[in-house]
Amino acid sequence: MPLIDDLLEEKDADIDSLTDEQLILAEKNLWIVASRHIERYKESVQQKAQEKAEEQACKKSKKEELEKTKQQKAQDKAEHIVEEKKLLVKEKRIPLDSIKLKFIKPW
């Protein structure tokens, strides 16, 4: 695929000395090379976009998991408090009417 610069170097001449066929061939080859560069650029942009999307999905997943963990801890704590109150009532240490449970919001 001879480009114009390659043809000029071979003949050690200027662009006017090239034949029409050589110029047409060089122009076609130039378009082929340019289109390949454009395709590579598109692929790299798509790959970067995909990597960024995966990274954001990973962050979102970690955030959701952390949120679930917090909610689970809050629920476990609430259940523990309820169990303690039930145990105290069962052992008749405190009257049932005096129990006021506080609802713990996990968020």
The residue with greater pLDDT, 60 or 30, is 60
Q: In the predicted model, is pLDDT for residue 18 greater than 60?
A: yes
Rg of the Cα atoms in the chain: 37
Q: How high is the pLDDT of residue 91?
A: 72
Q: Please indicate, yes or no, if residue 93 is contained in any of the structural domains.
A: yes
Cβ 71 vs Cβ 106: under 8 Å: yes
Where residue 40 falls among pLDDT bands split at 50, 70, 90?
very high
Q: How high is the pLDDT of residue 3?
A: 62
How many residues can be counted in the chain?
107
Q: How high is the pLDDT of residue 56?
A: 93
Q: In the predicted model, is pLDDT for residue 65 greater than 90?
A: yes
Q: In the predicted model, is pLDDT for residue 107 greater than 60?
A: no
* H/E segment holding residue 65: helix 20-90
Total domains in the fold of the chain = 1
Burial 10-20 (b: 16+ CB within 10 A, else e): eeeeeeeebee
Q: Please indicate, yes or no, if residue 105 is contained in any of the structural domains.
A: no
Q: Please indicate, yes or no, if residue 106 is contained in any of the structural domains.
A: no
Q: Please indicate, yes or no, if residue 104 is contained in any of the structural domains.
A: no
Question: Structural domain of residue 73, as residue ranges?
Answer: 4-98
- Distance between CA 107 and CA 104 in Å, rounded? 9
- Distance between CA 92 and CA 86 in Å, rounded? 10
Q: Please indicate, yes or no, if residue 47 is contained in any of the structural domains.
A: yes
Q: Please indicate, yes or no, if residue 59 is contained in any of the structural domains.
A: yes
What pTM was estimated for this model as a whole?
Answer: 0.46
